[in-house]
A and B are shown apart, each in its own frame.
Chain A
Amino acid sequence: MSLFDPNATPRIETERLVLRGWRKDDFEPFAAMMADAQTARFLSAEQRPRDRASAWRDMALFVGHWALRGYGLFAVEEKESGAFVGRVGAWRPECWVGFELGWGLARPFWGRGYAREAARAAGDWAFAQFPLERIVSLIHADNAPSQKLAQRLGMRIGASTIHAGMPHDVWEISRADWFRTSPHPAAV
């Protein structure tokens, strides 16, 4: 048996953020993030705020995803304040549409370009670490901010699908296109 130790989750620093493994004390800010209706709308299958017990199980699932897959969603922290900002990274539970690059931030941190900064770093890491031909993002048909971010990351809209009973699009990008897309930190 081979399990990845989630405590060995890599730490990735960007200009303003740190992507790192989950800690117990991420729970309170994560639960608060998921209790916010606007944030939870596109981050929970029920499109409803998550109660605390469900949020804890979500967090355990994120950590367990790292243990079982060796990759997963990072906890994202604001460098300057140390505040928990959200979760960004790789997502591929059983039966998923592909190797997903996912993002979701707490509402106080929207509108600052943090999701783009974190997603760019997580995508760089994913393509560097794993022999992926492409990554995908499953985005709700009404989720305009995430569609915009996917476009900015150079992703293209692909197949339409029904996920959790709701219309979604599978956005995707190839390895070659990912590293061609600007602005890329290494290319800036």
Chain B
Amino acid sequence: MEIGPTLTTERLILRPPAHEDFDGFASMAQEEDTMRFIGGVAPRDAAWRGMAALAGAWALLGYSMFSVLRRDTGEWIGRLGPWRPGGKEGSWPGDEVGWGLKRAAMGQGFAQEGATAAIDWAFDHLGWDRVIHCIDKQNAPSIALALRLGSRLERENHQLAPPFETHKVDIYGQSKAEWKARRR
């Protein structure tokens, strides 16, 4: 039984997190530079809880972040996709597609390739009108990716709800019409 879809791109497979991904999640959670803007480094037990919450969100909401695997090697390289903890009734600032890859997988266009597939899927299956990305002001690589995806800065210094209440993010985004026009 699947809790969510499997998407295939030129170089990647996107599917809901599974138990065999845990070593990948746990090792990425130890990468200080990778985790700096996405919650900070975390020990194995916290990494497991984070992965489990992604899987649980799939079951509760029908969407959540995907595990990202390389098609050529099968290797787990990160997680990305639709993210809105609490759903529409929650305090998240909107319908997000977020991304985070482990260090060794950065700089090869994987995040853009995966995020593009995830945004396509979200607009086609989740009834979203807009997509946003919550990004730390100092996270230059992610800001550059948001801009490459066609999103624009919409709101600055948005304060997230607990457990990230000490954290402010800038919100980038675009409408479904804008996305579809660019993808034609």
Interface residues, chain A, with chain B CB atoms under 8 Å away: 1-8, 22, 24, 27, 51-54, 56-57, 59-68, 93-96
Contact = CB atoms under 8 A, between A and B. Distances in A.
B25 to A, nearest CB: 10
B54 to A, nearest CB: 7
Interface residues of B, number: 35
A174 to B, nearest CB: 26
Q: Identify which of B15, B53, B59, B162 gathers the most chain A CB atoms within 10 Å of its CB.
A: B59
Contacts of B52: 60-61, 64-65, 67-68, 93
A2 B3 contact: no
A138 to B, nearest CB: 13
Q: Identify which of A6, A59, A94, A95 gathers the most chain B CB atoms within 10 Å of its CB.
A: A94
A53 B59 contact: no
Contacts of A94: 22, 44-45, 47-49
B38 to A, nearest CB: 15
A64 B54 contact: yes
A64 B53 contact: yes
Contact of A60 (B2, B15, B57, B162): B57
Nearest to A96: B45
Interface string B55-95: 11111100000000000000000000000011101110000
25 contacts: A1-B20, A3-B3, A3-B18, A3-B55, A6-B56, A52-B161, A54-B163, A56-B86, A57-B53, A60-B54, A60-B60, A60-B85, A61-B49, A61-B56, A63-B55, A64-B54, A64-B55, A65-B56, A67-B3, A68-B17, A68-B51, A68-B55, A94-B44, A94-B49, A96-B45
Given A52-B86, A68-B19, A5 B56 contact: no
Nearest to B54: A64
B161 A51 contact: yes
A6 B1 CA distance: 10
